[in-house]
Each structure stands twice: as C-alpha cells, then as structure tokens.
Amino acid sequence: MAPTLDRDGDGVVTEEEIELAKQEALIEKLDAQKQLAWLAAVSMPVYALLPAVLPIGVDKLNTMAAMSDMLFLSQASIVGLFFGAQAYMAKK
C-alpha cells in the first residue's frame, strides 16, 4: 500500500498530519545531504591512499594524478557547501 498522510487512519488528513509529513520529508532531505557530504569527505583520503595499497601501474597512476585536481576540488566544494548551508540555516 502507498504511504498515506492519514497517520492515525481516521480517514481525515489534519493540519498536524500534513505538518508531520513535511518535517519528515525535510529530515530525510537533510540526512541525504549529510550522507553526500560524508561520502565526498571520505572519498578524498581513500582516493589519495589507493596508490599506496593497490598495485597500480605508472600509466594508471598518471591518469589518477591528472584527475585528482578536479576531483579534490569538486569533493571539497561539496563538503564546503554542506557546512556553509548548515551555518547559514543555523543563523536563520
């Protein structure tokens, strides 16, 4: 069955039930953003340590090195934007 806004099953969707659904949607969105920021933050050291633990040839190392600038810049941007948004929303 599809999820419904009518939580207590009385057949009526009240203002509180709508508000509750909105808050849950917001929390879900913030959780997803937090996961994304974590993934971005963790991927940087993992990417940096990969050549140390994996037997990677020089050719592939050169390719990884060429990609690392943009990758780190974009991942750091995601992390920075996440914390920037957190600070902005805390001020509001």
Binding site for Ca ion (CB under 5 A): 6, 8, 10, 12
6 or 19: CB nearest Ca ion: 6
Give, as one character, the DSSP assignment of residue 12: -
Nearer to Ca ion, 18 or 48 (CB): 18
Give least dist CB 70 to Ca ion, A. 50
């849950």: which residue's tokens? 24
CA 36 to chain centre: 2
Pick the closest to residue 82 from 29, 8, 13 (CA basis): 29
Nearer to Ca ion, 9 or 45 (CB): 9
